[in-house]
Structure 1
């Protein structure tokens, strides 16, 4: 599965404990990453500053569902199960 451009669920729903440019302590679950544009695109995509956890994320139907809303719901559920 390819990422849905403009989804951004993986940059909003999960917590990220790695340092992100502009967010040195990472980000809590449910908070938009500071590097997520208004169009829900990663502004540091492909850059060495992008956290490994972000670079290694692969969109799959069981995590991302078939809509952006479903992706937020599924990733939020998974976050709650692993916290």
Structure 2
């Protein structure tokens, strides 16, 4: 599955516990990453500054469902389950 253009769920729902550009203390769960544009595109995508955690994320039906709203729910549930 290819990433849904403009979804942004993976840049909102999960927490990131390491420093990322613009967020030196990481990113809390359910907070928009500062690197996510208004149209939900990552400005770090395919750059050397993209965090390794983000680069390892795979857009799959299991992770992303069938819509952006479903992706937010799935990823939020995963975040809650692994907290």
TM superposition score category, shorter chain reference: over 0.9
For 2:34 and 2:22, locate their aligned partners in 1 and report how far apart those are by CA, in whole Å: 7
1:25 matched residue in structure 2: 25
What SS is found at the alignment partner of 1:59? coil
2:51 matched residue in structure 1: 51
**What residue ranges of structure 1 are gaps of 5+ in the alignment?**
none
For 2:14 and 2:81, locate their aligned partners in 1 and report how far apart those are by CA, in whole Å: 11
Q: How does 1:1-83 map to 2 (within 5 A)?
A: 1-83=1-83
- Describe the superposition over 1:44-83 as per-residue Cα deviations: whole angstroms up to 9, x where unpaired: 1111111000011110101100000000000000000000
**What residue ranges of structure 2 are gaps of 5+ in the alignment?**
none
TM-score for both structures, normalised by structure 1? 0.97
Deviation of 1:4 after TM superposition, in Å, equals 0.1
For 1:59 and 1:38, locate their aligned partners in 2 and report how far apart those are by CA, in whole Å: 20
What RMSD over aligned residues (CA atoms) do the two structures have, in Å?
0.6
TM-score for both structures, normalised by structure 2? 0.97
